[in-house]
Structure 1
Amino acid sequence: MRASDENSVNITETPAPEAEHGLAAHLAAAGPPRPDGLGVADPDVYDVVNPGGRRPVLLLADHAGRAIPDGLGKLGLPESELARHIAYDPGVDAITRHMALALDAPAIIHRYSRLLIDPNRPLNDPTSICQISDGTIVPGNRALSMADRQARARTFFEPYHRAVAAAIDWMKGRTGPPAVVSVHSFSPVVRGRRRPWEIGVLWGDDARLPVPFMEKMRAEGLCVGDNEPYSGRNLHGYTMETHVLPFGYANILLELRQDEVADAASQDLWATRLEAALRPILEDLNKNG
């Protein structure tokens, strides 16, 4: 994995041509990644990495990106604020791209900042579009009309979730129900208290991926949070709760502490570590169902 800006990494590979065409065509039929409302210089809402991946696993990165369209003027924030965790999950973009190639699995990566609208919150959630985030006032989110909020959802929320739903639908028809791995990162300090976990695993009632994964991480001497620093049983998100949990797909949500993935070398280390731990678990899952 090369050291480059997390939101401009472009990884190319040679996937199975028929598989790539099939997934790409299915996603295109679901809707374009560039809806009305984006400027010429603005990136697509999401990237699809390794669309020809053969393993029945889908990787998701809801908060990987920190792009803001030119027309919204950085929401009135300085670059120093947009580089903080309030805008995105540092480290996740590069790690998810690396894992997609190493696991031979497709990934869907959201490109835009969660400050525009959080793709992992219901639209009626008070934190869907934050006016204040971790003590920072977001001027561009104040006094939004209902029309403004609906435009944000049409542009930055709905295309991503159409793509996730379409990818799962296509994979079900090709390989059977996929396992879903969601990748996030968390702030190491909250309200002056340091969080001890190097990695957290969020899960609900399905132990197939999380329990053996946590065992592998602890065997490496890592401090692992079991439903820490958040709980997968709270059901306060949107992506897993909408596309995965109701259908019984094997799943795991990974939370990496951000000081553990602060540079290209550490991102490479963690991506390799995660892939090595997940691969045998996914292979067993594929054999045993």
Structure 2
Amino acid sequence: MRGLLRPDEGEPVIVVNENGPSPVVLICEHAGKVIPKSLGSLGLPPEDLTRHIAWDIGAEAVARGLSQALDAPLVLQRYSRLAYDCNRPPESPDAMPVVSETTRIPGNENLAPEARLARIRGIYRPFHDAVSRFLDQRAAEGAASLLVTMHSFTPTYKGKRRHLDLGVLHDRDARLADLVLGLAGRLKDIVVKRNEPYGPEDGVCHTLNLHGGARGLYHVMLEIRNDLISHEAGQAQWTARLAAILAEAVARIFPPTTVRMRSSS
């Protein structure tokens, strides 16, 4: 079976600030909008490949800002979620969506098992294997880890307005989400809600459960309304806002006398 990615296309994973000493490990599964060359345009016009259906607008920029502000490592996934949504397991219909929002994805229709397997092996497995190896290495070094996955959402979905600025998502383990909700709730200029605009019933907690839940790590998923971070000023504002919240969360969870910071050298 031919592989999904050509030798000149590069791996799905980019690790930023790998040796960052912060306990925070940032993950951005929907950072990129690149379509593997072997898939063409998935039958979509160019304008659709820049829309939110293809990637989380602004999420990578805020994640990179947080990586710098917190001196934290960041793991990015560079291929479009239309090719494979890395926040979904292989058995999920949404892993290779036939419809995204209200848009048909012709290149995902009637996929043969071999074609699905090529995407699983080419994008999903390398990305999550890289996250696992990274967390295993930190654990072997005795470094504390706290997972934060970064996402964005559309202000309107299928004609319905979403009345929030920041969603704080979790599944069974709400420890970090509760703390972030309490800290963000102090801010009077934004609307923050728990498990909106999505929740665990929508299957969006795959990365959290796979890497955070299985290891017993504190973890949370942050969803920012994408029109707020589609430009540099908004990205800088949200980076500063979330950096302060996460720094305070780290200080409460890991008092300086109990946490072992990873060496940045």
TM-score, normalized by length of structure 1? 0.83
Find the partner of 1:223 among 183, 191, 194: 191
Counterparts of 1:15-164 in structure 2 under 5 Å?
A: 36-164=3-131
- Asked if 1:182 is matched to 2:130, the reply is no
- Asked if 1:243 is matched to 2:211, the reply is yes
Distance 1:155 1:235 in 2: 22
Residue in 1 that maps onto 2:262: none
Distance 2:187 2:212 in 1: 29
- The residue type paired with residue 66 of structure 1 is K
- The residue type paired with residue 71 of structure 1 is S
Structure with greater contact order relative to length (CA < 8 Å, sep ≥ 6): 2
Counterparts of 1:171-210 in structure 2 under 5 Å?
A: 171-210=138-177
Helix, strand or coil at the partner of 1:76 = coil
Distance 2:167 2:135 in 1: 25
- TM superposition shift of 1:42: 2.3
- Structure 1 residues 116, 281: closer, same or farther in 2, change over 3 A? same
Instruction: Tell me, yes or no, if the aligned pair for 1:56 and 1:171 is still in contact at 8 Å.
Output: no
Find the partner of 1:271 among 234, 239, 242: 239
Distance 2:65 2:204 in 1: 28
Q: How many residues align?
A: 255
Residue in 1 that maps onto 2:134: 167
Q: Deviations over 1:103-161 (max 9, x none)?
A: 11111000000111111111111111111212211121122211111001110110000
Instruction: Tell me, yes or no, if the aligned pair for 2:17 and 2:67 is still in contact at 8 Å.
Output: yes
Instruction: Tell me, yes or no, if the aligned pair for 2:101 and 2:158 is still in contact at 8 Å.
Output: no
Q: Deviations over 1:247-271 (max 9, x none)?
A: 2211111000111111122111111
Helix, strand or coil at the partner of 1:252 = strand
Instruction: Tell me, yes or no, if the aligned pair for 1:186 and 1:256 is still in contact at 8 Å.
Output: yes
Q: Deviations over 1:36-67 (max 9, x none)?
A: 54235424311100001011221101111111
- Structure 1 residues 235, 83: closer, same or farther in 2, change over 3 A? closer
- TM superposition shift of 1:235: 5.1
Residue in 2 that maps onto 1:27: none
Instruction: Tell me, yes or no, if the aligned pair for 1:66 and 1:111 is still in contact at 8 Å.
Output: yes
- Could you tell which deviates more after superposition, 158-167 or 237-246? 237-246
- Large movers: runs of 4+ above 3 Å: 204-208, 232-237
- The residue type paired with residue 70 of structure 2 is L
- The residue type paired with residue 244 of structure 1 is G
Instruction: Tell me, yes or no, if the aligned pair for 1:43 and 1:111 is still in contact at 8 Å.
Output: no
Distance 1:275 1:238 in 2: 24
Distance 1:152 1:205 in 2: 29
Same amino acid, percent of matched pairs: 36
Distance 1:135 1:36 in 2: 30
TM-score, normalized by length of structure 2? 0.90
Q: Which sections of structure 1, spanning at least 5 residues, go unmatched?
A: 1-34
Q: Deviations over 1:161-200 (max 9, x none)?
A: 0001111101112234411001111111122221111000
